[in-house]
Amino acid sequence: MPMKNSPSDKLDAIVAQAHKNRVSRERGYREKAIKMYPWVCGRCAREFDRSNLKELTVHHRDHDHDNNPEDGTNWELLCVYCHDNEHSRLLDANTGSTNTDNSKTTTYKALAGLSSLIKTKP
């Protein structure tokens, strides 16, 4: 039988409270940003209306989700696609995924033997 107030129960309660706080915080700044800015993606200029507004997200320019000034200077509205792209670019920049070291490039040529297979014999 599980013990009451076990460490895992306490951890579950902490995680649940953190999630609740995050959702509440996001709801607050999202609602403010939606009221403050036009419903247009700041990157691709896609326009939104009430039917697809859920696809418009609030992006934090400094990537700090706790930095939510009342004037909205750290926010921009982005569609989900541009928002994902923005965060992917940040991850790529932080992990250094751009390969500038030629010694690590592949030398495998996937279609190298294709020309010999499709040549017609005289």
Within 10 angstroms of residue 88's Cβ, the number of other Cβ atoms is 11
Q: Is residue 64 part of a domain?
A: yes
84 within a domain of the structure (yes/no): yes
DSSP 15-77: HHHHHHHHHHHHHHHHHHHHHHS-SB-TTT--B--TTTGGGEEEEETTS-TT---TT-TTEEE
Q: Domain residues for 75?
A: 21-95
113 or 76, which is more confident: 76
Q: Is residue 104 part of a domain?
A: no
Structural domains of the chain, count: 1
Instruction: For residue 5, tell me if it sits in a domain.
Output: no
Residue 48 lies in a domain: yes
Average per-residue pLDDT in the chain?
83
Mean pLDDT of 63-70: 88
Residue 25 domain flag: yes
What is the mean predicted confidence (pLDDT) over 100-114?
Answer: 68
> Can you tell me the mean pLDDT for 103-115?
72
pLDDT digits (tens, 9 = 90+) for 17-58: 988 887 776 668 888 999 999 999 999 999 999 999 999 999
The answer to the question of residue 15 being in a domain is no
pTM over 0.85: no
Is residue 59 in a domain? yes
Confidence of residue 70 (pLDDT cuts 50, 70, 90): confident
The band of 102, judged by pLDDT with boundaries at 50, 70 and 90, is low
